[in-house]
Amino acid sequence: MGNTELQSIHVHPVKAFRSLSLREAVVEPWGLAGDRRWVLIDDGGKVVTQRQQPRLALAAAELVPGGVRLSAPGLDPLTVPVPEPVGTVTVEIFGDKVEGVLADTAAHAWCSAYLGADVRLVHMDEPATRRPVDPDFALPGETVSFADGYPLLVTTTASLDALNSLIAQGRHAAEGPLPMNRFRPNAVVSGATAWAEDDWSRIAIGEVTFRVAKMCGRCVVTTTDQTTAGRGKEPLYTLGRHRRINGKLVFGQNLVPQSRGTIRVGDPVRILD
C-alpha cells in the first residue's frame, strides 16, 4: 500500500453545482474548506439538487474572497457576497431542519432565472453548530455542512476501473466508461486495490486522520452526465447487480475528520485500521 496516494481533491462551493478541483484544501471538522457551504432551496424551504434539477451540473461556483462567483450557460457571471447573519431561514435537507442565512436578492434572481423556478440561495454561517452528523453513524459533536450527510466522500480509481469493467459487460455498455465526477467525491485515491475501501475504518491523508463512517449509498445523481446534464441508466443498473449492500447501492466511503490540517494532491494515504 506504499504507493497509495491522493490523486485529486474536489469541492462543491454551491451544493449540486459543478465540482471545483484544487491542488490542496484545508480540512475543517465539518468538511473541506469551501465545500457545500451554499445551497439552493425552493419556495417551501427544501433543498434543490441535481435530483430535481440536473441542469445544476452545468452551473459553476468559484471561491472568491468574501463569497462565490456564479456562472452558468446563458447568464452573465454573478459574484455573491457572504451574507451578514442578521437572521436565518430554515432549510430542509433530507429530513434535517438546518438554519442558514439568505443570500442577496440578486443571487435569488440569477439562480431562479437559470432554473426557470423560484429558488433562493442560502449560506451556512456556523457549520460548527448548525447540523449534526446522523447520530446513527456519528460521535458526539460531529457536524456537517450542506453535504448529503457526511463531511467528506472518498473514492478510489481502482474501484471505478472495476465498476467500468462491469458496466462494459452489462446491458448498458455504451454508456461507459464513466468518469469519476459522476460520484462527486471530495478525495480520490489511487494505488489501492479495487473495493479495498470497503474494509477501511480509519485512514490518514498526509497528516490528517479520518474516521470512516459508512459506505456511501448512491442515487440518481450518479446517472447524470456532469458535462451535458443528460441522464442514463448507469451506474445504478450495474451497482444494483454487483454492489448492493444492506439494501443500498454503494460506491465510496463517507469520512469524518479526526484532526485538522491541509491535504494536498500527492499526499500518501495510509490505512490505519
Per-residue pLDDT at 107: 98
Give the residue from 170, 168, 196 showing the smallest Cα distance to 252: 196
Helical segments of 102-201, H only: 105-115, 157-168
Amino acid in position 160: L
pLDDT value of position 86? 87
Look up the pTM and report it.
0.96
Distance CA 9, CA 263 (A): 8
pLDDT digits (tens, 9 = 90+) for 82-113: 999 889 999 999 999 999 999 999 999 999 99
pLDDT (tens digit, 9 = 90+) per residue, 191-226?
Answer: 999 999 999 999 999 999 999 999 999 999 999 999
DSSP letter for 115, please.
H
pLDDT given for residue 2 in this prediction: 60
Percent of the chain with pLDDT over 90: 97
Q: Mean pLDDT, to the nearest integer, of 61-67?
A: 97
What mean pLDDT is predicted for residues 126-155?
A: 95
Cell of 114: 437559470
Residue 54 has pLDDT above 90, yes or no: yes
Q: Over the stretch 158-185, which tens digit does the pLDDT of each residue have?
A: 999 999 999 999 999 999 999 999 999 9
Give the whole-number percent of the chain exceeding pLDDT 70. 99
Mean of pLDDT over the chain = 97
- 24 DSSP β-pair partners: 264
- Give the pLDDT band of residue 266 (cuts 50, 70, 90): very high
Rounded distance, CA 37 to CA 122, Å? 8
Q: Judge whether residue 120 has pLDDT over 90.
A: yes
Q: Which three cell numbers stand for residue 155?
A: 473514492
Give bridge partners of residue 192 from the DSSP assignment: none
Mean pLDDT of 37-41: 98
Instruction: Reply yes or no on whether the pLDDT at 1 is more than 60.
Output: no
What b-and-e string marks burial along 244-255, b requiring 16 or more CB atoms within 10 Å of the CB?
A: eeeeebbbbbbb
